[in-house]
Copies of this chain bind each other. A is one copy, B any other.
Amino acid sequence: MSLEFNNNQYLFNILSEKAKKEISSKVFKKNEIVYHQGDEPQHVYEVTNGHVGLISISHDGKEILLRVFNKGQFFGHRTLLSNETYHATTIALTNTQVKSISRRDFEAEIQTNNESLLYITQVLAKELRRSENKFAELATTKVEARILQTLAFLRTRYPNYQWTRKEVGEYCGAKTETVSRILTKAHNEGLISKDGRKINIVDLEKLYEFAENLKA
């Protein structure tokens, strides 16, 4: 396997035949929790359909949306690899179907199948980049730019999900009311249109550019 890898391949498709036999399937209703922050990791999951959010919940109940997984993306891997308990909670954002393999089968897989492990590692490396970029943005950029950028990103990456103001805020470190205000402004600028709660991006390129200019 070359280091050039297909971003869109599915982990569960490249597992060894042995591991594939152990895949099971499960369904979660919207708002159901897949696993809790602090739990011992038992499985690795891949989304068959729907959306799952990885959410960090602080001592006083503030929620931060760290990552989102949609069709074909896997989760739960980080914790198993680092031998820790889950550092955040995963919740089904929509009705969701997932496949999973057990901790034991996953560990056997990564110890015997270099190709699977390499793919997982490459995904981890990208997740780390994204996380560190998010951190740098949060530390250096004003809310308006963050919110518009996040809106554009989430819409590009998860086109079939209707994001709420709360979720957009939790993804980029902003309060719901602030997101609402910025959206109203963006609407007045003709960057987005609003159809009830639904947000439509008029021109994605323009939105990215607009957000970029706010930083200058």
A residues at B contact (CB < 8 Å): 1, 3-5, 56, 58-60, 62, 64, 66-67, 77-84, 87-88, 107, 110-112, 114, 117-118, 120-122, 124-129, 131-136, 138-141, 173, 215-216
Contacts and interface: CB of A to CB of B under 8 A. Distances in A.
B135 A4 contact: no
A76 to B, nearest CB: 11
19 contacts: A3-B80, A4-B83, A56-B132, A56-B136, A59-B215, A60-B215, A62-B139, A64-B139, A64-B140, A66-B132, A78-B129, A82-B122, A87-B132, A117-B117, A117-B121, A131-B131, A134-B135, A135-B135, A138-B138
Given A66-B135, A121-B117, A129-B78, A111 B1 contact: yes
B3 A122 contact: no
B59 A136 contact: no
Given A81-B125, A118-B111, A135 B138 contact: yes
A132 B58 contact: no
Residue of A4, A60, A124 contacting most chain B CB atoms (<10 Å): A124
Given A66-B132, A120-B121, 7 more contacts: A3-B111, A58-B215, A77-B125, A82-B125, A88-B136, A128-B131, A135-B135
Q: What are the 8 closest A-B residue pairs judged by CB atoms, nearest first?
A: A139-B173, A82-B125, A81-B125, A56-B136, A131-B131, A62-B140, A121-B121, A64-B136
A117 B136 CA distance: 28
Contact of A58 (B78, B122, B140): B140
Contact of A64 (B66, B78, B107, B135): B135
Nearest to A59: B215
Contacts of A215: 58-60
Contact of A5 (B83, B128, B129): B83
Contacts of A118: 110-111, 117
A107 B3 contact: yes
Nearest to A174: B139
A97 B104 CA distance: 40
A23 to B, nearest CB: 20
